[in-house]
């Protein structure tokens, strides 16, 4: 999701198209007011979006995203080139630059992300151990993906990422907890392959279609990393229009690791949860979301989901297996022609996990 989210100390994962971070009202695709058509022809190619979030992990964050929009040809999707910055009430700083391109009649898609941050994490119950933990993380990360349309809605490609970060405890007791759990920052570098099916009518505001992404990342010391392990992702989404521009959406997401160190294991990837607090070798989640249209520009989201952590092997995860979430939000379409929106959502989970987010695009 773009803008670049509040990052945690973990190896860089494959980039997704801005959502997140980095979408519009479901009704906007079928109904565009005639009065807006003329103004949209003269619309600015610049996009400025405030970014605000509040959660127990990093406190309240304020920032923004600026992006330049360009369409290389009529058959290609809108490309974005932008930067993002956030500063939090815990004195964390996160900055990033990103590009999402589509060209040559959408036969080529390239995504690139660079992120930098100084992140102060505050966990009340880290990995279910009952121990509070505060860490200071220095992060530098980059990731890229190239996709080529081979036939119909099928794409194949390659991806890679690299990260270099340090994890230090806020106090001697925090350092002891980190040592006990085996959590240490390290360099990581990975390459992998991607296969994707994408029949969505729009990547930011899909009203119909299917999306499937299967990919892997092979982290290797030979690439300059400090550890050798593998990660696999399977992400499936479906979108059904109904009623007066409403959309019912489902997502099934999987993250599997093999021989990964504790800090690089699979995490709960649901809104409302602190990414990196609950870890295990494998994670699977399911989400359902109703995207309600109030008109051409305004809409709402209602969502629920659950994630499961499982897998044998060394892990510092808690004994809990399932992590439910629920929430709701409202959105406003800032670029009707390009079908892009800003979204304000509240999400809640268990064990005091919750979050309030103002961002660009839907959650997924």
- What does the pLDDT read at residue 164? 85
Contacts (Cβ under 8 Å, ≥6 apart) of 173: none
Say whether pLDDT at 26 is over 60.
no
Are 277 and 10 within 8 A, CB to CB?
Answer: no
What is the residue range of 287's domain?
26-360
Q: What is the DSSP string of 249-292?
A: EEEEEEEEEES--GGGSEE--STTS-TTSSEESEEEEEEEEEEE
The distance of Cα 168 from the centroid of its chain, to the nearest Å, equals: 25
Position 72 pLDDT exceeds 90: yes
pLDDT of 270 reads: 96
SS3 275: coil
The pTM score is 0.82
Mean pLDDT of 188-206: 96
Structure tokens at 16: 């997704």
Within-domain flag for 16: no
Say what the pLDDT of residue 358 is.
93
145 part of a folded domain: yes
Contact 151, 171 (CB under 8 A): no
Contacts by residues 147-151 (CB-CB < 8 Å, ≥ 24 positions apart): 147/108, 147/109, 147/110, 147/194, 147/196, 148/107, 148/108, 148/109, 149/106, 149/107, 149/108, 149/109
Distance CA 261, CA 258 (A): 9
In a domain, 317, yes or no: yes
Q: How far apart are CA 90 and CA 58, in angstroms?
A: 6
- Asked whether residue 249 is assigned to any structural domain, the reply reads yes
Contact between residue 342 and residue 331 where contact means Cβ atoms under 8 Å apart: yes
In this structure, what is the dihedral angle of CA atoms 62, 66, 71, 72, given to the nearest 10 degrees? -120
Give the pLDDT confidence score for residue 38 in this predicted structure: 47
Taking the C-alpha atoms of residue 68 and residue 47, their distance in angstroms, rounded to an integer, is: 6
Cα(178)–Cα(132) distance, integer angstroms: 11
More confident residue, 136 or 187: 187
Residue 243's pLDDT is 85
**Residue 203 pLDDT more than 80?**
yes
CA geometry: angle at 331 spanning 41 and 240, to 5°?
Answer: 90
In the chain, % of residues over pLDDT 90: 61
CB neighbour class for 122 (10 Å; exposed up to 12, middle 13-18, buried from 19): middle
- Cα–Cα distance between 245 and 31 in angstroms, integer? 9
Residue 6 has pLDDT above 90, yes or no: no
Segment 132-141 shows an average pLDDT of 77
First to last CA, the chain: 7
- Residue with the larger pLDDT of the pair 90 and 283: 283
Please, what is the Cα angle at 56 between 51 and 62, to 5 degrees? 20
Between CA 215 and CA 206 the distance in angstroms is 22
Out of 129-133, 148-152, 184-188, 257-261, pick the least confident.
Answer: 129-133
Better-predicted residue by pLDDT, 4 or 308: 308
Higher pLDDT, 124 or 302: 302
Grade residue 137 by pLDDT with cuts at 50, 70 and 90.
confident
Question: Does residue 10 form part of some domain?
Answer: no
User: How confident is the model at residue 189, as a pLDDT?
Assistant: 95
34 found inside a domain: yes
Residue 9 lies in a domain: no
Asked, for residue 19, whether it belongs to a domain, the answer is no
Q: In the chain, what are the helix, strand and coil shares in percent, each to the nearest 5?
A: 10, 55, 35
Number of domains present in the structure of the chain: 1
- Of the chain, the percentage scoring pLDDT greater than 70 comes to 76
- Say if CB 112 and CB 18 are below 8 A apart: no
Q: What is the CATH number of the domain that holds 247?
A: 2.40.160.50
pLDDT on residue 131: 65
Average model confidence (pLDDT) for the chain?
84
Sole residue written with tokens 């910055």: 85
pLDDT tens per residue, range 225-280: 989 999 999 999 999 999 889 999 999 999 999 999 887 899 999 999 987 788 99
DSSP annotation string for 139-170: EEEEEEEEEEEEETTEEEEEEEEEEEEEEEES
**pLDDT score at 73:** 96
Give the pLDDT of residue 61: 87
Strand partners, 120: 136
The whole-number pLDDT of residue 22 equals 36
**Tokens representing residue 249 in the block:** 């959406």
């Amino acid at each position: 999701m773009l803008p670049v989210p509040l990052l945690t100390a973990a190896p860089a994962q494959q980039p997704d198209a801005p959502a997140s971070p980095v979408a519009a009202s479901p009704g906007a695709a079928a109904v565009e007011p005639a009065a807006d058509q003329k103004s949209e022809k003269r619309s600015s190619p610049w996009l400025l979006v405030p970014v605000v979030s509040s959660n127990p992990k990093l406190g309240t964050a304020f920032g923004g995203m600026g992006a330049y929009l360009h369409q290389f040809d009529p058959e290609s999707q809108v490309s974005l080139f932008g930067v993002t910055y956030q500063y939090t009430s815990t004195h964390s700083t996160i900055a990033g630059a990103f590009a999402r391109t589509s060209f040559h009649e959408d036969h080529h898609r390239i995504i690139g992300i660079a992120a930098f941050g100084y992140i102060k994490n505050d966990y009340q119950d880290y990995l279910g151990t009952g121990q509070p933990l505060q860490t200071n993380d220095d992060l530098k990360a980059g990731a890229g993906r190239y996709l080529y349309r081979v036939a119909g809605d099928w794409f194949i490609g390659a991806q890679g990422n690299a990260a270099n970060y340090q994890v230090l405890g806020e106090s001697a007791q925090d350092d002891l907890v980190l040592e006990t759990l085996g959590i240490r920052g390290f360099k990581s570098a990975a390459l992998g392959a991607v296969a994707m099916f994408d029949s969505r009518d729009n990547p930011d505001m899909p009203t119909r279609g299917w999306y499937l992404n299967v990919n892997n990342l092979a982290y290797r010391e030979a690439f300059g990393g400090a550890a050798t392990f593998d990660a696999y992702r399977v992400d499936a989404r479906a979108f059904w229009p109904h009623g007066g521009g409403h959309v019912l959406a489902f997502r099934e997401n999987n993250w599997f690791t093999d021989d990964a160190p504790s800090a690089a294991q699979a995490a709960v990837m649901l809104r409302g949860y602190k990414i990196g607090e609950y870890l295990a070798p494998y994670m699977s989640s399911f989400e359902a979301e109703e995207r309600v249209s109030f008109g051409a520009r305004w809409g709402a989201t209602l969502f629920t989901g659950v994630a499961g952590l499982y897998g044998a092997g060394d892990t510092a995860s808690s004994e809990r297996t399932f992590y439910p979430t629920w929430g709701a939000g409202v959105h406003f379409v800032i670029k009707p022609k390009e079908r892009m929106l800003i979204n304000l959502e509240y999400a809640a989970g268990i064990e005091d996990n919750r979050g309030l987010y103002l961002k660009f695009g839907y959650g997924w």
